[in-house]
Amino acid sequence: MSLFRLGEKPYPTQILQKKLYELLLQGKRIDGRGLLQHRPVKVELNVVEKAEGSAMVTVGKTRVVAGVKYDLGSPYPDTPDKGNLTVNAELLPLASRTFEPGPPDENAIELSRFVDRCIRESQALRLDQLVYVPGQRVGVVYVDVYVLDFDGDYFAPAVLAATAALASSRVQRYEVQGGVVTKVEGEKVPLPLVKLPTAAMVGILRDKIIVDPTALEEPALDASVVIGWGTDEELAAIQKDSPGLIPESIMDEIIEISRSVTINLRRTLKELLRDVWNPGLVRSQEEQASRA
């Protein structure tokens, strides 16, 4: 292609690009991984006792903590028969010398909106089951994600942390009698989470595709895209999150790669959550409700 100097990076990055590509040709990455090999993933649950649910996720040297809080509130006027979900994410100044304190910038906004879409659009959280008095009192689920340490891709770890925190949450139980909502002291219930959304970051350098790039690799990539799946078969969210061209011809391959990466992440999560998360229970509650 005669795209002279299109997307040309600063000179040091060009040297890095050349080196990375030479390695990719040999099937290797600069940290010794294979092209489609994810860094080790560690998920710790309940790291914050005062939160309804929480998770610390470490992917390589990227670290993200997510916490869930639950409250009563009024539904949005256009969804009187649904609870509310509010997702916020912050790129803490602790995490990188390039992150600055202050109100969320466009990168933090993009991250929160992506995590939101993975949970909301996959319909993982049954917001319709968080209604106490339709149009009046509903449950409000707050998911807050903080990036603590940055070594490339915070999207996939953030989705993983948010999902793990939601799946392990135990929230205050409320009773409704004659339109009055009251706390049931000392009783906590899980949130109606029926799916485990996970996401994968895919990077492109010339004709090579890699997953889970590090902070060193990220600036050298031609393009990157983060892809969230609600289940093994269903996409939930996509975000091309940086400038650059993605050849149309490799898009299907990118989707398939992201599918297998997210299936593995979901399997790991399911195993970890086996004692605390039971989607079958949510469905039986639903059946009870329909019978009542």
Rounded to the nearest 5°, which phi and psi values hold at 129? -95, 5
With residue 172 as reference, give the H or E element that holds it: strand 170-177
CB contact set of 4 (below 8 Å; sequence gap of 6+): none
CB of 97 to other proteins, least distance (A): 16
Residue 54 vs 239, nearer CB to other proteins: 239
CB of 235 to other proteins, least distance (A): 5
Contact residues for 277 (Cβ-Cβ < 8 A; gap 6+): 167, 168, 190, 193, 196, 270
Residue closer to other proteins by CB (options 185, 248) is: 248
Provide, rounded to whole angstroms, the least separation between the CB of residue 27 and other proteins.
25
CA proximity to 258, closest of 281, 240, 285: 240
Q: Which CB atom, from 41 or from 246, has the smaller least distance to other proteins?
A: 246
Q: How far is the CB of 15 from other proteins (least distance, A)?
A: 14
Q: Which residues bind other proteins (CB under 8 A)?
A: 1, 3-8, 10-11, 81, 104, 106-107, 109-110, 112-113, 117, 121-123, 223, 225, 230, 233-249, 251-252, 255-256, 259
Give the count of alpha carbons within 13 A of 73, CB side only: 17
Q: Which residue's CB is nearer to other proteins, number 93 or number 134? A: 134
Q: What is the DSSP letter of 206?
A: T
Alpha-helix residue ranges (DSSP H) falling in 26-99? none
Question: Angle at the Cα of 155 (from 102 to 241), degrees rounded to 5?
Answer: 85
Rounded CA separation 14/84 (Å): 46
Q: How far is the CB of 156 from other proteins (least distance, A)?
A: 15
Length of the chain in residues, anyone? 292
Nearer to other proteins, 34 or 247 (CB): 247
Of 46 and 231, which has the nearer Cβ to other proteins? 231
Closest C-alpha to 91, from 77, 80, 105: 105
Q: Which is nearer to other proteins, 55 or 143 (CB)?
A: 143
Q: CA–CA separation, 45 vs 4, rounded Å?
A: 50
We find the least distance from the C-beta atom of residue 252 to other proteins, in angstroms, to be 5
Shortest Cβ 281–other proteins spacing (Å) = 23
